Structure formats: structure tokens, C-alpha cells
Structure 1
Amino acid sequence: MFQKELREAGLPEDLAYLAMIESGFTQRAYSRASAVGLWQFMKGTGKDYNLKIDRYVDERRHAEKSTKAAVAFLSDLYANFGDWHLAVAGYNAGAGKIRKGLRKYKCNNFWSLAQHRYLRLETKRYVPKLIAAILIAKNPEKYGFTDLKYKSPLDYETLAVGPGLSLDAVALLCKTSSKTIKRLNQELKTGRTPLNRSHYKVQIPRGSKEIAATNLSRLNSFVSTGYKTHIIRKGDSLAKICKRYNINKTTLLKINNLRSRKLVTGTRLRIPYSTVRYRLLDKDSKGQIAANDLILHTIKPGETISKIAASYNVPPGLIVTWNGLKSVHKIRAGQQLALYIEDAEKTVSITAKTSKKSRVTTKELKSNSAMIVLAEQKKFAVSESTPDQTTVSWYHVRPGDSLWTIARKFNLSTKQLKSWNKLKSNRIHPGIKLKINNV
């Protein structure tokens, strides 16, 4: 990949070994000066060359994008100095530093400049180090490097997914390991797709795109409760343990069947915590989600995704994914959110923070609603009805949909859809909801 990008830009392919002396070809390399990635970009320089760096993504760790940025940077340095030794020194020390030194000492090449007490020792050694790396890499046996094992070139294809999707879920979609997916997406800082973008192209193993795209509509994520063990030590108190694990005293006492707040050293306590799990719905399930996994929450004025997430003890990104939101900020008062929490019907309260007004359990919903997945990560409540009644459901229009394709999907006519939704023409746009009457 390095040689290909350099060749296409008309640069010497040997510059690929610059990444070797910078990072050892390690995407997650991090220096004491806060340089990051294969090409060890500083934050400012990375942004100058169009690398996105925020709380969710650091494209300095993206192999292909950072390489394109490095090629552009090296091209600019060579255009500035007209000499590759000076350009490489500028990559390490900065173009301004080299330019100033050439003027100050009236030099016209790197070797003359290096004779003066001006450049740092690191920069003086930088160009010779690159030359040595190139010589050794081209003839490793000559320098005592034998039985070398070369890694396979990075090979992948991309899949567009929504915000907040865990890389563990992507692995499930592709039928591969989480380790493989995380290795391909090292630019993702949180292990999830960014919450501030409506779509993100994750990198997946070549040959897995078809099965991943097929599985995408079957993917279901939900919050489950796991348990860890805490062994009571001398000096422990109920308050200290609750503060450490961020749980309330009542919950801790009930889960461990404790009638007294007195703790005995050596006793094992069960500590509950929320964990996100993923599953693929059965192909013949037609997108139906188990009713006892569902909670519906109506957003109140002033509420945010973060506040709602804290109330139910779930990650904010998961709420975004469950409801197909474009970002963590795109909600409004009165909007209904679907939350998938394992055995929600048995749960009276998700956490002590959950208010009675904002909580709706599936026990209350069982008589009049069910969950149907009509599109990728879109979940909607629909009314149940007796066989002789009309069932009404809703469909969220996605990019690429047309009235004709939606009609075919539900075995209807475009005339019926226009009538039910009071449409004057066949024109629709992504994001709107269409009423579907299933007779």
C-alpha cells in the first residue's frame, strides 16, 4: 500500500521505510511528543492534511488515510526544498526549522547543515537512519537478517453502518473475530462507530461484505446484567463498595440477600453491572423482537440521550443505534425511544435513578404493542389486532427507497401507499414515516 501511494504520486517508493523508522509500521504507535500512528503525525499537522481527529476517531491510526496524508506532506516538503535529504529532515524537525537553518548558515544541503550545532541529534541521525533502513530492507541477508516472516498486505472492503455500532457487533455480522475487526479499524478510539455521523464505513475482511450486509437487518443489541465478585477486605464498608462499583446500597443488599449492613471479612459479594450483548435474529422471525426485552420511553422537555442513558444504565451510543438516530443530539420532546433490556418485563426499575414517570415496562405494553424491524436498525411499535382487523405499522424511508420498492416490499400498490399517507405524488425522501395498513 505504501509503495502504491508513493508511486501514484510520483515519489520515490523507498520513502515507505520512513514509516518503519517512525513507528515500526505500528498503527497505534504513540510518542512522548504526542505524535500518533504509522507516520507519527502531530495533531495539528494531521488536521492540516485532512485527517479527522476528535473524541471518536483518530485517522492518524488509519493506515490508508494517514499514508495519503504523509504522501501529500512529503510532496509539499520536496516542492519546498527540491532535495529529498532536506525534505526528510523537514519531516522530522519541521519545514520552518530547516528553512531557517539553511538561511542562517548559508547551506544548500542537509549534510552541511548537520555540521553545525543547530539541529537536534535526533534530526541529524534521522536521514542516515532512513538510508540505513532502505539498504537493509533491500538486502536483509547481507546484514544478518535471515528467516524473515513477512506479514500479508492489509486487505479489506468497507460496509456502511449507523452511529454507535460496536466493533463486536460488526464481528458478529461478518462471522469473524472481534480481534480481526478491531485490527482493521484502529482509528476508532471508543471501539464503536462515531456518534456524530449518520453513517460510517467500517473496514471488514475482504469477502465478508455480502454476508455482513445480509445480517445487518437481523442484528439486535440489548443490555443484559452481568455479575462480578468482590471479596470483602478489612476496612471495607457498604458505602465504600457502593461508591467503587457505582451502585446503591439497597440493590447491593437485596442481590446478596443481606439483612444487615454489617460486613464480614472474606465474604464474597455479587456485584451487578450492565453489559451490552448482540444477537442475530432468526431468519424466519420476520424481525420480531421478544416483547419482554422492550421498554418504550417518551422523551420529556429538557431530556438528553445522556440523561436517558444514565436513567436506564445503558451506553448513550446504544440508544442511538437501537433507534436509528442520525446522531446523539438528534432527538425532540415527545419522541418515543425503544430500549432493549434483557427480561425487561421482570425489571421494576433499571436503576435507582429511573423515575416512575419515564419508565414504561413491557408488561404495560404487552396488550397493545409488538416490535417489528422493518429496516436496518429501525424499530417501531405497531398495534396488535385480531385477525379480522387492520394492522397499522410504520416504515421509515431510507436512502435509495422509492414508493415502488416499498410497495413491492409489503406486497402493496403505490396507489394504496399514496392514499393511506395522503401523498399527492410519488416523491418521498429519507427520514419520513409511511403508514402501512396490513389487512
Structure 2
Amino acid sequence: MKRFTPLTLAVSLALLFASSAQAAPTPSSGVDEAMAAGLDMMLLNSSLLRNGDDVWKRAREGFQLDEVNADVVRRQERLYASRPEYFKRTLDRSRKYLFHIMNEVERRGMPTEIALLPMVESAFVPTANSRVGAAGLWQFMPATGRHYGLEQTWWYDGRRDVTDATRAALDYLQNLYAQFGDWNLALAAYNWGEGNLSRAIAKAQASGLEPTYENIRLPNETRNYVPKLLAVRNILEHPERFGVHLDKFPNKPYFVAVSTGKHMNIDIAAKLAGISVSEFKELNPAFNLPVFAYKAGRQMLLPAAKVDRFEANLNKWDKPLLTWEVYIPKGDESASEIANQHGMSTSQLIAANRIGGGTLKAGLPVLVAMNKPLNDGQPVESVDTPIGDAPASAGATMIAQAEAPSQSTAPQAAVVQIAQAPAQAPQPIASAAPPAPAASQPSADAGLATRQAVLLASATAPGEDGAAAKSLATRDLGSYTVASGDTLFSIARRSNLSVSDLKSLNQLDGNLVQVGQKLRLKTDSSADAIATASDGGNADPALVQVAERRPAAPQPRHSTEYVVRRGDTLFSIARRFGVTHHDIQQVNGGRQTSHLQPGQKVKIVGL
């Protein structure tokens, strides 16, 4: 088996954070191509950041929320300042997650105070559970979590998944902002529910009051909710005023995502990475049982500094990665008897499954030590029971997984990339695709832009329809089929095109692309004919329609004036127009843009 080069990750991190350019290795196998794509995604991620900054500095630059209930904010400030040990412990926990959350908040153009919300919700404890059933960093209730695509099964609770729950929380908050038009009200709705807030707003309006945070009648918890966040914001903005010392927070990822393609024991995964089981669980808290249950779209998060070690040890591992299987009692059975049959103690069985009592209920799956001679177990992927369900029979608990892992014998990690939320529904305009990288980008970055290999981690899972592989095959022929995780920017970059050229080629009005959508990469009609032939003659009508039209000439660069809207930040405006926030500051004067106000006019130069 050809081993992917661990230096690839080191090179990518060097490109992110060092000033000297490094040369990336040329892919020579499918795995190396996947690594090249992973490196490309890391570089894409880096283009969204202001490298070299302290994360606390990044946060301060994007603070935007208006202060509400000033007296309550002062009280919360005093409370936090009176407990410096608690405040520091919470900030220390945040260092594992905040770089990723900041990336996602800035990518969407949201106020950066939003990235600090887990401090109020969960004190950055990813396994936090509330007395009413909310879970995770962002404290999702079960129904709301399911509504925003957070899977909740016997194996896995997506509400505790660091990256997926972050994606869902920001989706939810953006929807609430679109509904209420005010970030403070959106936060109130996040805490109290949009139905409750809508009714409270209607009552305030019926009384002749303007529906502001202060005027709306809120329960005590919600009335204190935004002031708590503002208090955290104020302390981080001026720590010296509150006697708080902030250590520098390096602007680099703490964790990296690995797609293994295999189930494995959590203790084995931790051992391969050279970390403790507790640290592994801090990054992968969504797994309810001592098994990393792989399926398409699930990623394993590992400390960035440990990925090389994990990959090297995994390639040398010659023992079973999984020592558990699923047992489904046909009737009520004794836990001690089942444990004995599988070479376990009763306490081990109970601890592994987090169950109480000595009786296993009929039809409810339990995890047992693998015992092939008994031949009474089910494979891991055969059971995926939603949390809270109590199926009437064993058959009701069996949900076949279309994403069954590959059966190759050699363990191998697939693609390593900067962890980010899975591709979701199109985002609002604030998340428009960023500009193409400047010519000053390191030479290795430029080399990656011309690579012809496109193989994303999310598209390599066995059992999928092969869209990414098909895209890989047709890329050189002048077309590309959008795969999960793609953005207009990443496609343009890997195709050595600018975003505007790619949009012009395909007559796109916006920056959004959909999985399965075909994009034209070349102007000559012969490329379209070859691409159609490679599809067996089944050309996409939309692609044919595009091919019949000559692409419009790229628009000349120009300047414009933008009127600031509520919720805008300097960073979100810069991202929207494909310029840097420093460019806007230089043109408009630093002071004029330090605190943007709705209605303020900002000049944008260099479009």
C-alpha cells in the first residue's frame, strides 16, 4: 500500500503560518491526490484568515453588537470579574474550538460576538447537558437539532459534534436574524424560541412600544442572556479594565479532521494519535459508545500536532481496529449472562453501554466484546437507533446503512483537511465566495491551483454515487461536477480560473453552487462535446444551454459605494466585495470604519 506523505500536512501548515514558500509533493497515487485536495482545502481556508493575528485580536475586530440593558451588563461584568479562575478555565477550554468557530462566523460575515456564545451556553464544555435536555457546546434541544440536520442515534449525537453543531447553530442564528432583523433579538429567540419571542413582540407593539430588547417582556433567563454575552465581549475587548490577563491565542487550528473510512475503538484511535482517551473525547464528544462509528460525512478530529503520528501508527497497525459488536436481545436477558458469554464483566458491559440495572430489554441493542465463535453479534453499521426510540422488536432497530465501510484490509487514513462544517444549503449573501488569492501567494499555492486532481474527503466515502470520481475524470475535458464541500472559489482555484471567469463561463449571477451541478471550465465547444461523450451522451440540458451561449466578457474592475446595513461588519463587507478589510480602512479612513453604523456609506475600490 502506498502511504500518503505526512510531510504534506507539515507543508500545508508552513504555508499557512510561515513567510517562506514550500514546495508541495506531486501526487503519484489516489491517496496522494486526496492529500493534495486536502492541502488545497487547507490553503483555501487560510485565505479567509488574517494570518499572524492573535485570535483575540480577530474577535475584537469583528465586535458589532449594540449594548442592551446596560445595568444588567455591568452586573454580569462584575460577576465574571469576581471569578477569574472560572473565567480563565472557560477561556482555556475554548482554545480547542474557537479558531474553528471564528472561521465559520467570519466566513458568514456575522458579528464575532457570536463565536463567544458557547461561553454563555455551555462554558465551552462539549459534553454539557442541561436539565431540560439540551446538549453540546451550543445546547441544542433534540427537536431543534434534528430540524437543523443533527443526527441523533444510539451511536452518535450530532448536537455534541464540534463542527456539525457549529454549522447548525450558525444556520439557526442566521435564520433568526433574517426573521427579526436584529442580532440581539435573534439571540433572544435562540434562547427562548422564535415563537415565544414573536408573541412577545406582538404584545409590545399592541401596547404602542417599539419592539426592542429592552421593551419586550422576556423571562429572566432570556433578559440576562444577551447581557452575559456582552459582558464576556467587553472583558475580552478591555481585559485590563477587569484585571484579566489574556495569553496570546495563536491564529492557527488546534484540530484537523481525518476521514478514516473505518470503524475503530476510541481507545485504539487515541493510542494511535498518542493522546489520552479524554482528550480524544473532547474533540469527538458526539460518540455515545466507546466506538468511532464511521459513516459517510463523519470525521475524526485530532490535534493538528498529532496527525502525522496517527497516520504513521495506523499504517503500521496489524491488529483489529474494532473489538466490539452489537448484540440485540430477543427477549429480556440478564446483563451478567450476556457479559459472561462475551468474556466481559457485568460492570464492563454496563459501563460501555451507559445503562442501569441488570436486565437487557428485548430489541434494544447493546455493545458487547466481539466473540466470533458465538456468531450472535451484528456488525457495527447494522444498527442506528434514534435516541429516545424504544423499538417494539429487533427488526425495528435495524436500519441498514448505505454507507457501509470498505472492506480493504490495510488501514489507511484518507484525507486530512482543516476541519470545517459539512456543506449545507446555500448561505445568505454574507457568506459570498471570497476573492481569488493574490499573486503574492506562495509558489506552492500557485502550483496547487493548477492541479488536475479533485478528490474531496467528503466524496471518497464508499457507497456514494461516484460524483467526485466522475468529476475527476471529466475535469481535464472541460467540465466539472460539483461535489460535497465544494465552493465556487475552491473550484475556480483548482481550475486555475478566477471566480469572475468561472461565473462568466457558466452565466452565474451569484456565488452559490449545488452538489451535482455541472460547471464549464473551458471556452472551446470541443471540450463540451468531449465531456458530453464521457457521460455516455446523456448531457445535462442546463450544461447544453450554457454551451450554446458564448460567455460574457469579464467585467472591468471598478469602484462602488456601499450603504451599511444592520448586522454588517467591516470584515463581512470586505468578504462580500472580494477585498480586504485593510483596503476599506485605507480608502475610508480608519476611524470612519472602526464602528460602522446602519446607513453609513463606505467606498469600495478595486472591484
1:59-108 deviations in whole A, cap 9, x for unaligned?
A: 22222221121111111111101112211111111111111111122144
Deviation at 1:189, TM superposition (A): 1.2
* Alignment correspondent of 1:110: 212
* Alignment correspondent of 2:410: 376
How many residue pairs were aligned?
A: 266
Deviation at 1:171, TM superposition (A): 2.1
Distance 1:143 1:305, change over 3 A: closer
Deviation at 1:127, TM superposition (A): 2.0
1:254-273 deviations in whole A, cap 9, x for unaligned?
A: xxxxxxxxxxxxxxxxx899
* Alignment correspondent of 1:62: 161
* Alignment correspondent of 1:72: 171
* Alignment correspondent of 2:237: 138
Residue type of the alignment partner of 1:132: A
Q: Distance in 1 between matches of 2:339 and 2:123?
A: 47
Q: Distance in 2 between matches of 1:245 and 1:142?
A: 60
Q: Distance in 2 between matches of 1:168 and 1:376?
A: 19
Whether 1:19 aligns to 2:118 is yes
Residue type of the alignment partner of 2:234: L
Matched position secondary structure for 2:215? helix
Q: Which deviates more from structure 2 when the two are superposed, residues 137-146 or residues 11-20?
A: 137-146
CA contact under 8 A between 2:339 and 2:368: conserved in structure 1? no
Distance 1:199 1:125, change over 3 A: closer
CA contact under 8 A between 1:216 and 1:376: conserved in structure 2? no
Distance 1:142 1:315, change over 3 A: farther
Deviation at 1:30, TM superposition (A): 0.9
CA contact under 8 A between 2:118 and 2:124: conserved in structure 1? yes
Deviation at 1:40, TM superposition (A): 0.8
Deviation at 1:207, TM superposition (A): 4.7
* Alignment correspondent of 1:155: 254
* Alignment correspondent of 2:393: none
Q: Please give the TM-score of this superposition, normalised by the length of structure 1.
A: 0.50
1:85-138 deviations in whole A, cap 9, x for unaligned?
A: 211111111111111111122144333434x4xx21111111222222211221
* Aligned residue runs from structure 1 range 282-297, under 5 A: none
Distance 1:19 1:110, change over 3 A: farther
Matched position secondary structure for 1:376? coil
CA contact under 8 A between 1:27 and 1:186: conserved in structure 2? yes
CA contact under 8 A between 2:255 and 2:301: conserved in structure 1? yes
Matched position secondary structure for 1:55? coil
* Alignment correspondent of 1:36: 135
Residue type of the alignment partner of 2:133: S
Q: Distance in 1 between matches of 2:225 and 2:146?
A: 24
CA contact under 8 A between 2:204 and 2:215: conserved in structure 1? yes
One of 113, 120, 130 as aligned partner of 2:219 = 120
Distance 1:5 1:305, change over 3 A: closer
Residue type of the alignment partner of 1:34: G
Distance 1:133 1:163, change over 3 A: same
- Structure possessing the higher radius of gyration over alpha carbons: 1
Greater per-residue strand proportion: 1
* Aligned residue runs from structure 1 range 21-420, under 5 A: 21-106=120-205, 107-114=209-216, 116=217, 119-146=218-245, 155-162=254-261, 164-194=263-293, 197=295, 200-216=298-314, 218-221=317-320, 245-246=336-337, 316=377, 327-328=381-382, 375-376=409-410
Greater per-residue helix proportion: 2
CA contact under 8 A between 1:56 and 1:194: conserved in structure 2? yes
Deviation at 1:198, TM superposition (A): 7.0
CA contact under 8 A between 1:316 and 1:328: conserved in structure 2? no
* Alignment correspondent of 2:68: none
CA contact under 8 A between 1:164 and 1:192: conserved in structure 2? yes
Q: Which deviates more from structure 2 when the two are superposed, residues 199-208 or residues 124-133?
A: 199-208
Q: Distance in 2 between matches of 1:161 and 1:182?
A: 17
Identity of matched residues, %: 28
CA contact under 8 A between 1:61 and 1:187: conserved in structure 2? yes
Matched position secondary structure for 1:80? helix
5+ long unaligned stretches in structure 1: 225-242, 252-270, 276-303, 321-326, 331-372, 379-397, 401-439
Residue type of the alignment partner of 1:157: V
Q: Distance in 1 between matches of 2:339 and 2:409?
A: 38
Q: Distance in 1 between matches of 2:338 and 2:366?
A: 21
Q: Distance in 2 between matches of 1:147 and 1:314?
A: 57
Matched position secondary structure for 1:220? coil
* Alignment correspondent of 2:39: none
Q: Distance in 2 between matches of 1:314 and 1:215?
A: 30
Q: Distance in 2 between matches of 1:216 and 1:135?
A: 45
CA contact under 8 A between 1:163 and 1:200: conserved in structure 2? no
Distance 1:49 1:307, change over 3 A: closer
Residue type of the alignment partner of 2:179: N
Matched position secondary structure for 2:155? coil
CA contact under 8 A between 1:161 and 1:199: conserved in structure 2? no
Residue type of the alignment partner of 2:140: F
Q: Distance in 2 between matches of 1:189 and 1:248?
A: 19
1:16-61 deviations in whole A, cap 9, x for unaligned?
A: 2222111111111111111111111111111222222211111222
Q: Which has the higher contact order (CA 8 A, sep 6+)?
A: 2
> Aligned-residue CA RMSD in angstroms?
4.4
Residue type of the alignment partner of 1:221: P
Matched position secondary structure for 1:34? coil
CA contact under 8 A between 1:305 and 1:329: conserved in structure 2? no
5+ long unaligned stretches in structure 2: 1-99, 324-333, 350-364, 385-406, 413-461, 467-607
Q: Please give the TM-score of this superposition, normalised by the length of structure 2.
A: 0.38
CA contact under 8 A between 1:166 and 1:193: conserved in structure 2? yes
Distance 1:219 1:202, change over 3 A: farther
Q: Distance in 2 between matches of 1:307 and 1:207?
A: 33
